[in-house]
A and B are shown apart, each in its own frame.
Chain A
Amino acid sequence: MMMQRLRRSEEFIRFGCESLINLRPNKNSVPRSVSGFVTHYDTKGKLFESNVGNHYNTHRCLGRNLGMLQQYKCFGSSSASQIERKPLFSSLDSKDVSSFKEILGDKNVVEDEERLETANTDWMKKYKGSSKLMLLPKNTEEVSQILQYCDSRRLAVVPQGGNTGLVGGSVPVFDEVIINVGLMNKVLAFDEVSGVLVCEAGCILENLATFLDTKGFIMPLDLGAKGSCHIGGNVSTNAGGLRLIRYGSLHGTVLAVTANGNVLDMLGTLRKDNTGYDLKHLFIGSEGSLGIVTKVSILTQPKLSSVNLAFIACKDYLSCQKILVEAKKNLGEILSAFEFLDNNSMDLVLNHLDGVRNPVSSTENFYILIETTGSDETNDREKLEAFLLKSLEKGLVSDGVIAQDINQASSFWRIREGITEALQKAGAVYKYDLSLPVEEIYNIVNDLRRRLGELANVMGYGHLGDGNLHLNISAADYNDKLIGLIEPYVYEWTSKHRGSISAEHGLGVMKANEIFYSKSPETVAIMASIKKLLDPKGILNPYKVLPHSLFSH
């Protein structure tokens, strides 16, 4: 949400001041923010440049002080350190640049170093490429022309939107040309009867939400990055978010895409269309490896006026599961969000964020956020109260509060959404996004706690309603021993329970080689065939999504 972006900029100002004042090198301190969740705002090139190679390296400021090699080493398992640039790809030359300028015009061919610095680095400051060129097409034809040229020249490309992904999928690994769709940000059509919105891929999610708000509609997805992420990127990564439990995934709500591996125009606004294989599903979630989404047509929902939010506490995970079942039964059609967090997460937030307090007066082991959205205020409120009181009587809920106005609701959400920020402030963090059967979700947290003991603080929180756990391990600093204990243990554990090693974040470059933990070799082989069919030269977002071993000739 916008709030998160503003919070991050506050963060930046505070850290920024520290770094300017505290110029003494401190050899023992590892930069706390190498974890990655430092602000989206850049370190302004110069500060970073001067840090490389000199004693400011161990400076406690805005991350990325360590050289790239060391950064990968901190993360240990990152396969990025083992990737080699494919020799088959051509290198950019001046003739290419002038050809692009002919297609796009001079202004939209970016070679400026500062802008490339930002475009080359991912939101978490964890991955950095070395691209020398960024292209800004204005429409589908330009995208098509660029891609045809790159294909003929065998130039690797990276499609880029808001660059808010968490698995390094939106930035170059080496010198791939960045194709950023940010200029394609027009809303093309909106039908107020059917609720179908047609827009270009570069529209920022929050802007779309604001536009729809004036018409009395809402987007079917909502996530923390909405102030910066593009709808094209959301579609390409099949983004999940807080509303998935109510409105389903983008596979259900996106009606069509225009994708430009080789100019596929499937843009339609029909709710039902059973003519042949539904290819749009290939592109939704393909993370830019099969084609670049240029336009999206999406089904939006009418905005409902009555929103209620409850924050409840439970003694154990079994109660959480029972409450989920009961909530779906009793709140059924009005349930719009079901999130959980454990006590460690709550403690972290209370310790590291300002102005938050535990809404519930007692400390418990688990906390749940239940949100309902409906059209009848009194009715919904009564339903929610009745459900919660019954749960209280049955002993499933030990305590809870219901938000009385939007301010209180925001403060409840702040706790759940502030965990990411608090993790960043607490030191080093290892992040995992897993889908597991609901009854297993907390077992992995407990197992990992036993395994790591005093070494780290293990936290579990996430979209319980969707069976999606955000597993986070927080430690004072990064070390290889810790990472060795965590990986591949977490992946193997997930695989054993037939879970997904990436519920909503995608594979990107971070987990490209781990896909076998969640998909069989036969399935992956077919994926590779489809990739070779749609992108024979492999120029679209290489080194990502699928294992590198499948493509080395």
Chain B
Amino acid sequence: MKILVAVKRVVDYAVKIRVKPDKTGVDTQNVKMSMNPFCEIALEEALRIKEAGFAKEVVAVSIGPSQCVDTLRTGLAMGADRGIHVETNSSFLPLTIAKILKSLAEFENPGLIFLGKQAIDDDCNQTGQMVAALLGWPQATFASKVVLDKDKHVATVDREVDGGLETLCVDLPAVITTDLRLNQPRYASLPNIMKAKSKPIKKMTVQDLKVDVKSDIEILQVTEPPQRKSGVMVSSVDELIDKLRNEAHVV
């Protein structure tokens, strides 16, 4: 079985971000970029499944500008067998990404697609679900535990939901998105970094995959959240009620 893992290159989790002065987005010039933490967890899970003998190959795929190759190299250094880079300079929204991944899935025929539950730059939490819907495959999102049954071709997944944990059994092929407590990703070790140099990264374009990338959504503006205003001291209960009623409109 082949496992496809989608990884996204995002602003590093520890960086303090700033909004660009023209409000078109977040400033990513000269800022440290890394693999999305949830994508790391997704890749780690795929690698563990392969090491347990349930899969033959782990393929990492990333969609974006040329620097995505760095992210894919990280994936290869962790242990993925090969990488696919869909090169584009546009910044795509989840639906477009999902269409691209669908096209790739039809091309590669994986038994499982792993994604992070959401990217830390847009927090959309949509791509995994959309891919599953487009492919008509079952989905298990927010996975905190994944157990495969080779013979029955199913995966039993514990999901982290608001009320606690939900256990689902999904037929393969399926889409799984990973949550924080699923595993702790491995570090890229030197021997693996060395091996990664000879692993192939295939370049593709959206035209190759015959995907229509026109988006229905246009981002108008990106702003910082409003600054927190300082508190006000009131001198009496009456003044407090007055403020609550007439200024805050909560009474």
Contacts and interface: CB of A to CB of B under 8 A. Distances in A.
B241 interface: no
B120 to A, nearest CB: 11
A392 B14 CA distance: 30
Interface in A272-322: 305-307, 311-312
A359 B190 contact: no
A388 B192 CA distance: 12
Interface stretch (A48-56, A334-342, A394-402, A419-427): A394-402
A228 B71 CA distance: 37
A403 interface: yes
Interface in A372-405: 377-378, 381, 385, 388-389, 392, 397, 399-405
A402 B193 contact: yes
Residue picked from A360, A392, A403, A405, most chain B C-beta under 10 Å: A405
Contacts of A381: 70
Contact of B14 (A306, A312, A406): A406
Given A404-B35, A407-B13, A399 B189 contact: yes
Contacts of B14: 405-407, 410
Contacts of A312: 190
A70 interface: no
Contacts of B187: 311, 359, 401-404, 408
B240 interface: no
B15 interface: yes
Contact of B193 (A307, A357, A389, A410): A389
A361 interface: yes
A406 B14 CA distance: 6
B126 interface: no
Contact of B35 (A357, A389, A392, A405): A405
Given A406-B15, A406-B34, A401 B190 contact: yes
A357 B190 CA distance: 17
B190 A361 contact: no
Nearest to A391: B190
B194 interface: yes
Size bracket of the B interface: 20 to 34
B55 interface: no
B32 A305 contact: yes
A276 to B, nearest CB: 42
A392 B188 contact: no
Contacts of B191: 392, 399
Interface string A463-475: 0000000000000
Contacts of B70: 377-378, 381
Interface in B181-206: 184, 187-191, 193-194
A305 B30 contact: yes
Given A401-B189, A406-B15, A408-B187, A392 B194 contact: yes
A402 B187 CA distance: 7
A406 B35 CA distance: 11
A385 B192 CA distance: 11
A399 B188 CA distance: 11
B189 A400 contact: yes
Query: Which secondary structure dominates where chain B touches chain A?
Result: mixed
Contacts of B74: 404
Contacts of A307: 32
Contacts of B77: 402, 404
Interface string B4-19: 0000000011110000
Nearest to A412: B187
Contacts, number: 66
B37 interface: yes
B12 A405 contact: yes
Nearest to A311: B187
Contacts of A377: 32, 70
Query: Which secondary structure dominates where chain A touches chain B?
Result: mixed
A406 B12 contact: yes
B31 interface: yes
Contacts of B40: 404
A397 B189 CA distance: 12
Nearest to A358: B187
Interface string B40-63: 100000000000000000000000
Contact of A392 (B30, B32, B190): B190
Contacts of B15: 406
A304 to B, nearest CB: 9
Interface string A335-363: 00000000000000000000001011100
Nearest to B187: A401
Contacts of B188: 401-402, 404
A408 to B, nearest CB: 6
A305 B30 CA distance: 6
Contact of B190 (A305, A400, A410): A400
Given A406-B14, A410-B14, A388 B34 contact: no
Interface string B128-171: 00000000000000000000000000000000000000000000
Contacts of A357: 184
A494 B100 CA distance: 66
Contacts of A402: 77, 187-188, 190, 193
B34 A404 contact: yes
Residue picked from B14, B35, B190, B191, most chain A C-beta under 10 Å: B190
A389 to B, nearest CB: 5
B124 to A, nearest CB: 20
A374 to B, nearest CB: 12
Given A305-B30, A305-B31, A378-B70, A407 B37 contact: yes
Nearest to A305: B30
Contacts of B32: 305-307, 377, 405-406
A311 B189 CA distance: 9
Residue picked from A305, A307, A399, A404, most chain B C-beta under 10 Å: A404
Interface in A490-516: none
A207 to B, nearest CB: 15
Given A378-B70, A406-B34, A407-B37, A389 B190 contact: yes
A41 B149 CA distance: 54
Given A359-B187, A378-B70, A405 B194 contact: no
Contacts of B37: 405, 407
A399 B30 contact: no
A307 B40 CA distance: 20
Interface in A249-292: none
Contacts of A399: 189-191
A361 B186 CA distance: 10
Nearest to B71: A404
A402 B189 CA distance: 7
Nearest to B78: A404
Nearest to A397: B190
Nearest to B70: A378
A120 B189 CA distance: 49
5 contacts: A378-B70, A388-B193, A392-B194, A404-B74, A405-B35
Given A405-B35, A410-B14, 16 more contacts: A305-B30, A377-B32, A377-B70, A392-B190, A400-B189, A401-B187, A401-B189, A401-B190, A404-B34, A404-B74, A404-B77, A404-B188, A405-B37, A406-B14, A406-B15, A407-B37
